A and B are shown apart, each in its own frame.
Chain A
Amino acid sequence: MIEFRDIQYDVFDVHTHWSNLVCKILKGPLEMAALPQVLDLVFSNWAAVQGRTRNRRERNMEFFRMVLDQFGIDRAILLPVFGFDVEFNIEIGRHFPGRVTSFGMVPPRARDVEHRFERMREAGVKGLKLHANYHKFSPRLHAAELSRLLGWCSDESMVVLFHSGSHYEIRDLVPLLKPLDDLRVIIGHSGLGNQVDQAVAAAKTLPNAYLEVSSQPYSYMFERALKDPDIGVERFLFGSDLPGIHPLVEAMKVLQFPISEADKRLILAGNAVRLLGIHIEENNQST
């Protein structure tokens, strides 16, 4: 929970990452990917957490819980970036069922794409994260492979979160999404800076597309989209891209929107709760 001007808000962060790579020997490289306050929290509590957990995976799961606490995040969608994080991320979701919702990952062009998707389905993930650069696809060049995967997600009622704003044009994605009426899509970063216009245009065209706010600095475009009758407040989601981006700075964007307190609560948590059909539990504890 966060508090601003004496008002408290639940926080459901739909864009977080964590990895089992967290270890002392990689402290230097981790500085490229994580906020210094996150690394300080982890490494200053290393011995204590090591002492109360049984192995590396448990230790790193506990660190993720502590990082969520550090920024007042009540519930989070955990997104894998690299293949080796997928099973660990799923495990975190099972370890903290009241707090973490795990998404999976399937590169659309993988030779064993069907098998990988089946594994995600069996694991019960609520959605997939797709990243054009890390997963080596282009909506224009690999439309058939991408459409096939998106169709499966639609059939299984999975949500798809796309990294957006770099490596491809959002407008190239829209024709692939338009025929999939039931597929719910999160436009991660809302186009970063440069493609904000395309992100808003996509949200206007696709009734099941959601604008996620992390790393998108153009507040004035968000204000337009909030007032747009074809988009509106219910199509916004709070995301931070933790641990690389600062959740409280991203939350401030939402707190500054010229909307009611009730609408801010929708963006910070309510819309995500509705989208995923889950709840923020009080007194979340490790299971």
Chain B
Amino acid sequence: MTTVTIPDPAALDLEVHDFHRHVEIVDVGDMNAYHVTSACILPSWREYRSSSFDAYPSNDFTNIFWYKAGVQALRKKFAGWNGGFFVFIPIDFQGGVGKFKRDVDELNPAGVKLHPLQCFPLDKDFLDPYFQTIEESGLLVHVHTDWPSSTEFGKFKPVLGATFGKLARWYPDVIFVMGHAGNNDSYLNIWKIVKQCPNCVVETSMAPTPAELDRIIARVGADRIVFGSNFPYCNSAVEITRVLALHRASAEDKQRILGENAREMLKDRPRVVAP
């Protein structure tokens, strides 16, 4: 029997852009350890408390004041840092379109993040005014997937095509990032959505298996995948290892997924901290 060696991402020569980090804890130690030189900072839903840190605030989707404070702290803490943070703001649907426009003006984000737990209606008439602002401001749209499927007996049905896919088809001029690559029970066949929607990019954090990412590479191309860690909820080394484990990707493809694709998407978008 052979011994199989697992590469240590910390020991590799990588230059990583992390498309999915959260504002609560921007852990420079973790970023440096795994060669993360720039990152998108997204609002989060889950409360975070681990063995390494004490309690941190929860749910900055509904407490946008906290999210803004976090972004301001980030700006102050990392002024002069030779990297870059790109802010994705939550849409305050309660506050309406006017409030959203003011948030965009105030925070100068690179994009917005949508989460199914915000319970926004999948109604084009409702969403049109928000997406008008998104298009005018050139914002990217990062969507948490999946919309959790029913756990009722006999009522399970993967719904990603009818949720994320619908949004991407409604607004073809907006770039949508599929956060978590479909997530557990909706991950199979996401390559079809990626192929149908040229404005769709897949973000790798929490992807249950590299196999579906491999299918995207084989059928659509490696330029439609960006790396995300979902730190601090998930582990950066695990998430990078999933990309390194891709079978259909060349070394160049992996480097593009880990950084170059994102840098290309973000090159003209505002950074919170300019290098």
A binding-site residues for B, Cβ under 8 Å: 1-5, 8, 31-32, 34-37, 40, 69-72, 74, 132-133, 137-138, 140-141, 165-169, 192-194, 215, 217-220, 223-224, 226-227, 244-246, 248-249, 251-253, 255-256, 258, 283-284
Q: Is B82 located at the chain interface by the 8 A CB criterion?
A: no
Contact A34 B238 (CB under 8 A): no
Option from A32, A249, A252 in Cβ contact (under 8 Å) with B210: A249
The segment out of B120-128, B132-140, B168-176, B201-209 that lies at the interface is B201-209
B153, B215, B237: most-surrounded residue (chain A CB, <10 A): B153
Given A2-B5, A36-B211, A215-B184: A133 and B241 within 8 A (CB)? no
Q: What residue in chain A is nearest B149 (Cβ atoms)?
A: A166
Q: How many A-B residue pairs have CB under 8 A?
A: 138
Contacts of B149 in A (CB 8 A): 166
Docked Cα-Cα span, A224 to B211, in Å, equals 29
Contact B3 A1 (CB under 8 A): yes
Contact A141 B153 (CB under 8 A): yes
Q: What residue in chain B is nearest A192 (Cβ atoms)?
A: B184
Docked Cα-Cα span, A165 to B148, in Å, equals 10
Please report which residues of chain B, range 193-225, place their CB below 8 angstroms from some CB of chain A when the two chains form the complex. Answer: 205-206, 208-211, 214-215, 218
Q: Is B2 located at the chain interface by the 8 A CB criterion?
A: yes
Docked Cα-Cα span, A224 to B242, in Å, equals 23
Q: What residue in chain A is nearest B11 (Cβ atoms)?
A: A5
Q: What residue in chain A is nearest B188 (Cβ atoms)?
A: A32
Contact A249 B185 (CB under 8 A): no
A8, A37, A70: most-surrounded residue (chain B CB, <10 A): A37
Please encode chain B, from 150 to 162, with 1 for each CB lying within 8 Å of some chain A CB and 0 for all others.
Answer: 0111001000000
Option from B6, B49, B51 in Cβ contact (under 8 Å) with A252: B6
Contact B241 A252 (CB under 8 A): yes
Contact B48 A249 (CB under 8 A): no
Q: Is B38 located at the chain interface by the 8 A CB criterion?
A: no
Docked Cα-Cα span, A36 to B214, in Å, equals 8
Contact B233 A219 (CB under 8 A): yes
Closest 5 A/B residue pairs (Cβ)? A72-B4, A138-B153, A217-B206, A192-B184, A219-B235
Contacts of B237 in A (CB 8 A): 252, 255-256
Contact A193 B206 (CB under 8 A): yes
Please encode chain B, from 75 to 108, with 1 for each CB lying within 8 Å of some chain A CB and 0 for all others.
Answer: 0000000000000000000000000000000000
Given A3-B5, A168-B153: A36 and B247 within 8 A (CB)? yes
Docked Cα-Cα span, A283 to B205, in Å, equals 37
Given A193-B206, A215-B208: A220 and B48 within 8 A (CB)? yes
Q: Is B263 located at the chain interface by the 8 A CB criterion?
A: no
Option from A132, A165, A255 in Cβ contact (under 8 Å) with B6: A255
Given A4-B6, A169-B151, A256-B235: A35 and B241 within 8 A (CB)? no
Given A36-B248, A167-B156, A245-B209: A258 and B4 within 8 A (CB)? no
Q: Is B1 located at the chain interface by the 8 A CB criterion?
A: yes
Contact A2 B3 (CB under 8 A): yes
Docked Cα-Cα span, A72 to B2, in Å, equals 6
Report the minimal beta-carbon distance from A23 to chain B, rounded to whole angstroms. 19
Contact B242 A69 (CB under 8 A): no
Please encode chain B, from 37 to 78, with 1 for each CB lying within 8 Å of some chain A CB and 0 for all others.
Answer: 000000000101111100000000000000000000000000
Report the minimal beta-carbon distance from A29 to chain B, rounded to whole angstroms. 12
Report the minimal beta-carbon distance from B22 to chain A, rounded to whole angstroms. 11
Option from B148, B209, B232, B235 in Cβ contact (under 8 Å) with A246: B209
Option from B1, B52, B148, B238 in Cβ contact (under 8 Å) with A223: B52
Contact B153 A217 (CB under 8 A): no
Report the minimal beta-carbon distance from A200 to chain B, rounded to whole angstroms. 12
Docked Cα-Cα span, A34 to B245, in Å, equals 14
Contacts of A256 in B (CB 8 A): 235, 237-238
Report the minimal beta-carbon distance from A254 to chain B, rounded to whole angstroms. 10
Given A37-B247, A169-B151, A253-B238: A224 and B51 within 8 A (CB)? yes
Contacts of B242 in A (CB 8 A): 246, 249
Show 20 A/B contacts (Cβ-Cβ < 8 Å), sorted by A.
Answer: A1-B4, A3-B6, A4-B8, A31-B211, A31-B215, A32-B188, A34-B211, A35-B210, A35-B247, A69-B2, A132-B153, A133-B156, A166-B151, A217-B234, A224-B51, A226-B51, A245-B211, A246-B209, A249-B210, A256-B235
Q: Is B255 located at the chain interface by the 8 A CB criterion?
A: no
Contact B6 A248 (CB under 8 A): yes
Contact B184 A166 (CB under 8 A): yes
